[in-house]
Amino acid sequence: MSDAPRTEPRPQALKPSRDPQLVLLRHGETEWSASGQHTGRTDIPLTPAGEKQARYAGGALADYEFAAVYTSPLTRARRTAELAGYADAVVDEDLAEWDYGPVDGRTSHDVSAELGREFLIFDDGVRVLPPSAEHGEGRPGETLEDVATRAARVVARAEETLAARAEDGGGDVLLVAHGHLLRVLATVWLGVDPRLGARFELGTAAVCLLGYGHSLRTIEGWNLAAQ
């Protein structure tokens, strides 16, 4: 049996498209993402595994030269951006995760038990429970429509760069953020009901590629490169 140290697996670098792409990167694993607890504005760090995932994602994006990189203000996203190689990412408050209010820190199983039925966040929202000082610091939380409105502002800003010529600072854009926020943003990109975000599974440190085809906004890759 060899005592040689294990080499870490290297990701296959994703190949940029000829046309501009909006690239999404979810943050790496945290203790709450691993346990299934909704993590909204609670600011918890990456686990060691999450830091490893972030570096791996950076390798997957190594062939991109982004014209702009934006990150959520929350620590887990900013650290993911840093470890992926984008320490200079610009903080965009609109990229913060869905404010879960009374659902923050709870699992779907916990909420379902309290409601006496299955809890489906994209259908039910988070205001199915009363505000609680123990969860979400007493905030009622955002509606799905609130989150979609923020996502639409992000998309509008990103498209200014996507649409610009390369000599004018245009090109691909990277967004580093959170699972639910990015799933809602994908529905905004497509112009469909944000509740369809429930159908877009997104792992920690996964990459998604949004682009254009036949004058339509499209999804060119989803849930890629997750380790």
Farthest CA pair distance, the chain: 58
First to last CA, the chain: 26
Q: Point out the catalytic residue in the list 29, 51, 97, 142.
A: 97
One DSSP character per residue, 105-145 reads T-BHHHHHHHHTS---HHHH-STTS--BTTBGGG-----HH
154 touches 185 (CB < 8 A): yes
Annotated active-site residue 97? The verdict is yes
Q: What pairs with residue 71 in β-bridges? A: 91, 176
Mention every residue, 6+ apart, whose C-beta is less than 8 A from residue 110: none
Q: Point out the catalytic residue in the list 27, 38, 178, 180.
A: 27
Annotated active-site residue 31? The verdict is no
H or E element in which residue 223 lies: strand 216-224
Query: Alpha-carbon distance 5 to 21, whole Å?
Result: 38
Q: What pairs with residue 224 in β-bridges? A: 207
Catalytic positions are: 27, 97
